[in-house]
Amino acid sequence: MSEMKIVVDHLRLNYNGPFDANALYRHITAFVKEMGFDLETQKEFEHNTQTGKHMEWQIRPWKQISDYLRYIIKMRILIHNYNKMDAVVDKKKVKIGSGKVVIYLDGYVNLDQQDRWEHIPFFQFLRTIYNKFIYKVYTERFEQRLTHDMNHLYHTIEQFFNMYKHYKVVSKVPPFISTH
C-alpha cells in the first residue's frame, strides 16, 4: 500500500450570506484545472427541506508530480439552508442564493503510489530509509509547494465570497430601484 502523508489537515472556511452555488462550483473547478490538477468527483447530492436546500459536494483533485509522488487534495463543501432570494447590487435587483457554507480542505502527498516497494519486507525497510534520509529534502519541498497551492485555493475561495459581501438581501425591493 502506498504511503499517504497528510500535509494540510482540515483547513476550514465558513461563510454565511448571499452567494451563487453554481458560480462557486465553476470557480473552484476552473481554479483547480488552472493549477494543473485533474478532478475526481466523489460525492455530489442535494436534499430539499422546508428550510432550504442542503447540498454536499466532495471532490478529490490530484496532480501527478513524478512517477513516485502525487498531490491529492480532498475538498468537501457543505451548503445548508440555501434559498433563492432577491438582492440589491449597484441599485439593481437580482436573484441570488443565500445560505451557510462550510468548506474543508485536506492535502496529502502520496508516495510510492504504484506499490513498488511494498511486496517484500526488506524493500519496505529500504523505502523507509530512502524517504526519511535520502528523499527527505525533495519531499519537504513538495509538501511546501502543496501547502502553498492549498493556501492559494483557500484565498481565492475567500475572494469569491468577498465579492458577494456587498449584496444586500431584501424581502421587498424599494421603489427607486430598477428591476431590469
Which tens digit of pLDDT belongs to each residue from 46-90? Answer: 999 998 999 999 999 999 998 888 999 999 999 999 999 888 888
Instruction: Sort 79 into a burial class: Cβ within 10 Å, 0-12 / 13-18 / 19+.
Output: buried
Q: Which residues pair with 98 in a beta bridge?
A: 18, 83
Q: What is the mean pLDDT of residues 142-148?
A: 96
Residues above pLDDT 90, as percent of the chain:
59
pLDDT band at 173 (very low <50, low <70, confident <90, very high): very low
Residues above pLDDT 70, as percent of the chain:
91
Residue ranges of alpha helices (H) inside the chain are: 21-34, 121-129, 136-163
